[in-house]
Structure 1
Amino acid sequence: MEVLEKPSIDKPCSKIFLTESERAPSWMDPFIDYLSKGIEPTDRTIATRLRKRATLYTVREGKLYRKGRSFPLLKCISLEEGQLLSLHSGVCSNHAGERNLAFKALRTGYYWPTIVQDAKRIANAYVKCHHFANFPLASSVPLSIIIAP
């Protein structure tokens, strides 16, 4: 028998099991409302923009997914979850530049609107990885001898 002196999780239960009313508003809410319930904003220009952008998304089991061109459905996450996602050292774990880091986040299956800006911020924060990286000094193409006439 094992006795736990403290809880095995750090977050309180109220943070883990959030209801819809307790959740903070997200960039996904207008898309979910439009695609699942058909609710449009009252402003005509915003409603037109939402209708055009909503063609890129789909709702399955109450979750919003973005249709990718070369990817399967990408799970949409909030901006806070995207910034907390450990792109540089966690799931994607590499020491790459910003575009490669954003692409790896997409390949992992996540999407949020500021994915490129967040990847740029993360890549610029880890200067040691880029400064002390092993850069190949040899040319990728074999050298050819040019003889003077």
Structure 2
Amino acid sequence: MEVYIDDMVVKSKKVEDHFSSFDIDQIRRDLNTHADALASLGSNFSPAVFDKIPIVHLLEPTIEKPGQTCPINEDTNSWTKPYYDWFLQGILSKDRHEARALRIKASTYTIINNMLFKKSLAGPYLRCLERHEAKQVIEDIHDGYCGNHKGGRSLASKVLRTGYFWPTLRADCIAYSFKCEACQLHSPFIHRPSKILHSISAP
């Protein structure tokens, strides 16, 4: 709370030069009932109401320039491109087996605001990421401000709970945790021998 108040004081001092005068008033609780009701509105709904609400974690600025739309990845090597082609243009592979497999997989995906999401069995939709976005997410969750240097499997579970998905999620998280220098320095010592011990009888 003190950090939040300090940030507000710093911001207010930056903008006070742009005004000739201003007043700061404290509103009594009985006069602020509408804001209190709005703040407590979310706690009155059951969790089932929010099961199908997508959680969008913003990796880029939300303010768009005039005439700019949400970009769609046109990279031919992207794993999301077949889904975009199928949902937006109805294009499938010429191979009959690949086309059938894509239609089956596409039943668990959807597009919201030109962004691909995967339908989660346990909760909200998962935002589908590209390789460069996935690397940034792993770094932030593993050793970011709130990171605790989890292992590969627990790191992958936390990424899913945060709301992200890509096909090689588990393998990428395990590989990243193995390469983390801090994890290797502070990991517990393994006292188990590298080879099976053989008993030697005395002559």
The verdict on a shared fold, with TM-score over 0.5 as the criterion, is yes
**For residue 101 of structure 2, what is the amino acid of its counterpart?**
R
Q: Which residue of 1 aligns with 2:75?
A: 24
Report the structure number with the largest CA radius of gyration.
2
Distance 1:105 1:71 in 2: 14
Is the Cα–Cα contact under 8 Å of residues 76 and 112 in structure 1 kept in the other structure?
yes
Distance 1:69 1:114 in 2: 18
Distance 1:65 1:129 in 2: 32
CA deviation map 1:4-54 (0-9, x unaligned)? xxxxxxxxxxxxx99658x53311011112123222111101101101110
Partner-residue secondary structure (3-state), 2:92: coil
* Ranges in structure 1 where 5+ consecutive residues have no aligned partner: 2-16, 136-149
Q: 2:153 aligns with which of 93, 96, 99?
A: 99
Q: Percent identity?
A: 34
Q: Which residue of 1 aligns with 2:20?
A: none
CA deviation map 1:85-105 (0-9, x unaligned)? 213112761222111000111
Is 1:125 equivalent to 2:179 in the alignment? yes
**For residue 81 of structure 1, what is the amino acid of its counterpart?**
E
Higher helix share: 2
With structure 2 as the length reference, what TM-score do the two structures score? 0.51
- Give RMSD over aligned pairs: 2.7
Is the Cα–Cα contact under 8 Å of residues 71 and 114 in structure 2 kept in the other structure?
no
**For residue 75 of structure 2, what is the amino acid of its counterpart?**
A
Shift of 1:107: 1.2
Q: Which residue of 1 aligns with 2:164?
A: 110
Q: Which residue of 1 aligns with 2:8?
A: none
* Ranges in structure 2 where 5+ consecutive residues have no aligned partner: 1-13, 15-68, 190-203
